[in-house]
Amino acid sequence: MADPRLAGQIAFLVEADKLKTILRRTPLSDASRLENSAEHSWHLALAAIVLAEYAPADVDRLRVLELVTVHDLVEIDAGDTFAYDAGELETKADRERAAADRVFGLLPAGQATRVRALWEEFEAQETIEARVANALDRLQALLLNAASGGGSWGTHHVTRAQILRRMLPIERTLPALWPLVLETIDQFSAAGVIQA
């Protein structure tokens, strides 16, 4: 390809295809297999569109969609870090920073900085758009775990306190959805899927 700028962009897009092979701990709603991080990111985008009315009115909706689209790309090298594994969480930042250097570095220089900044914005959790994207990320996992009959909660013996802590960004940023979260956790606690 003659144009090195376009060549870098295409190389990045082809490399990004690997996110479809990174498996999360959450199953699909029919429990047929684990979800991968690419289709998960799409599901967040759909949730951002459908649940937009529960976010603060001044949220930049384009930014939220950009954030959810790129937020997991570093997993191509760093893998998916399980939310309830303290050991994995400890090394997460270093692994993901090295991954960001390589993956976003495939893009032309100026664009690499801009796209990487989306990932950094999501990670920093300082903007309202990053907080909405993060709250949707937590909610989507809850919906799939519930739909699949318990999902990673049962498989990995997660406690009610751990889940409540994990879901707190929803209470903070999408408070209208918090009763649904509590109701779901109560239901799976009562059924014995979620440990006390």
Q: Is 102 or 157 the residue whose CB approaches a copy of itself more closely?
A: 102
What residues are paired with 36 via a beta bridge? 23
d(CA 172, CA 166): 12
Residue nearer to a copy of itself on the CB measure, 19 or 83:
19
Yes or no: say if 177 and 47 are a contact pair by the CB < 8 Å rule.
no
Q: Which residues contact 161 (CB under 8 A, 6 or more apart)?
A: none
To the nearest whole angstrom, how small is the minimum distance from the Cβ of residue 6 to a copy of itself? 6
CB of 84 to a copy of itself, least distance (A): 22
Q: Return residues touching a copy of itself (CB under 8 A).
A: 1-2, 6, 9-10, 12-14, 16-21, 28-30, 32, 35-36, 38-39, 41-43, 45-47, 49-51, 61-62, 65-66, 69-70, 107, 111, 115, 140, 143-144, 147, 176-177, 179-180, 183
Residue whose CB is less far from a copy of itself, 18 or 95: 18
SS3 of residue 79 by DSSP:
coil
* Shortest Å distance, C-beta 119 to a copy of itself: 12
Q: How far apart are CA 85 and CA 20, in angstroms?
A: 22
3-class secondary structure, 34: strand
Q: What minimum distance in Å lies between the beta carbon of 136 and a copy of itself? A: 10
Angle at 125 between CA 119 and CA 128, to 5 degrees: 105
Residue number, 30 or 126, with CB nearest to a copy of itself: 30
